[in-house]
């Protein structure tokens, strides 16, 4: 368990220190989101974001806020294959508009952030 977190982080650091001039080709990008951007869903219990590259769990998380800016309590984990960020909600979301704010680091050491909005009816 320890090496699952530390080794990718250490590798990412080595890559970013030694190969900044050449490591520009395989940045992570998001390939799927549930709920999807712009979608309307009913009482979701989790938010999942899948990326094209493995994530570094220690530097990857998401937050959820409603239209008033109030944050939901979310427990963030990364899937076994390292590519999906899973935000589990302590309670189903009530009706309204929500913004997902995410921040990730991929195995090549690059950090990315983004956000998207979905609606709960
Ligand atoms: Cu990159």
In a domain, 19, yes or no: no
Domain that holds residue 33: 28-120
Provide the Cα torsion 97, 101, 106, 110; round to 10°: 130
What Cα–Cα distance (Å) separates residue 110 from each residue in 10, 31, 32, 42? 13, 17, 19, 34
Handedness of CA 69, 67, 115, 57 (dihedral sign): positive
Domains in the chain: how many in total? 1
Q: What is the rounded distance in angstroms from the CA atom of residue 76 to the CA atom of residue 71?
A: 14
The angle formed by the CA atoms of residues 31, 36 and 40, to the nearest 5 degrees, is: 170
DSSP string, 17-30: HH-TTT--S----E
In a domain, 89, yes or no: yes
Mark the residues whose beta carbon lies below 5 A from ion ligand 1: 27, 108, 110
Residues whose CB falls within 8 Å of the CB of residue 29, separated by 6 or more in sequence, listed in order: 51, 52
In a domain, 5, yes or no: no
The whole-number average pLDDT for the span 99-112 is 95
pLDDT in tens, 44-88: 999 999 999 999 999 999 999 999 999 999 999 999 999 999 999
In a domain, 42, yes or no: yes
Q: Is the pLDDT of residue 18 over 50?
A: no
In a domain, 114, yes or no: yes
CA 97 to ligand 1 centroid distance, Å: 31
CA 4 to ligand 1 centroid distance, Å: 20
CA 87 to ligand 1 centroid distance, Å: 23
Higher pLDDT, 7 or 98: 98
Residue 115, domain CATH:
2.60.40.1220
With cut-offs at 50, 70 and 90, classify the pLDDT of residue 112. very high
Query: Mean pLDDT, the chain, as a whole number?
Result: 87
CA 24 to ligand 1 centroid distance, Å: 6
In a domain, 45, yes or no: yes
3-state DSSP call for residue 110?
coil
CA 74 to ligand 1 centroid distance, Å: 27
In a domain, 10, yes or no: no
CA 26 to ligand 1 centroid distance, Å: 5
Higher pLDDT, 2 or 75: 75
CA 54 to ligand 1 centroid distance, Å: 11
With cut-offs at 50, 70 and 90, classify the pLDDT of residue 7. low
């Amino acid at each position: 368990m320890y090496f699952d977190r530390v080794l990718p982080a250490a590798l990412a650091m080595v890559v970013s220190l030694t190969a900044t001039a050449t490591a520009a080709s395989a940045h992570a990008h998001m390939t799927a989101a549930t709920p999807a951007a712009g979608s309307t869903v009913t009482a979701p219990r989790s938010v999942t974001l899948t990326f094209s590259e493995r994530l570094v769990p220690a530097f990857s998380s998401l937050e959820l806020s409603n239209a008033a800016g109030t944050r939901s309590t979310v427990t963030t984990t990364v899937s076994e294959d390292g590519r999906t960020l899973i935000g589990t909600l302590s309670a189903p979301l009530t009706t309204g508009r929500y913004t997902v704010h995410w921040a990730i680091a991929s195995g090549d050491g690059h950090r990315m952030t983004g956000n998207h909005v979905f609606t709960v009816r």
